[in-house]
Amino acid sequence: MHKTRHFLPPLPDFVPGAYDLYNPKLRFIAVPKKDLKITFNFEILSSPLLHAAAKNAGKPLVIPDGHIIVPVHELQVPHIKDKFPDLQVYSNEYRLDLRAQQSIR
């Protein structure tokens, strides 16, 4: 079974049909560059997402000095906050509505 069929703490369990796995939300976190191994042109390739998120929020997405923005699935946010409390999680207003790319069975 896929891991999203059983939610691990700190994420509460969802009743079947309560979360739309076909249309997830993309959220953003700021991570210090020194904590990551960045390959290729990640910042350039992810910049259209950041511009779209800022446009969706109606205000700029401010990136702290020495940080990089990493997109994450919205269901990962509670775990990220729990396991890495020093990372900056951008508010839900900077989310992007997506369509799932993998089969959901």
- 37 residue type, one letter: K
Residue 87 has pLDDT above 80, yes or no: yes
Residue 7 counted as domain residue: no
CB 27 within 8 A of CB 80: no
For 14-45, the pLDDT digits (tens) are 777 788 888 989 999 999 999 999 988 999 99
Mean pLDDT of the chain: 87
pLDDT of residue 1: 41
Evaluate whether 72 touches 31 at the Cβ level (below 8 Å).
Answer: no
In a domain, 97, yes or no: yes
Domain assignment present for 83: yes
Q: Is residue 53 part of a domain?
A: yes
Q: Rounded CA gap, 23 and 68, in Å?
A: 25
d(CA 60, CA 54): 5
Number of domains the chain contains: 1
Q: Which domain holds residue 26?
A: 20-63+74-105
- Would you say residue 30 lies in a domain? yes
Which candidate, 29, 19, 35, 22, places its Cα nearest to that of 49?
Answer: 29
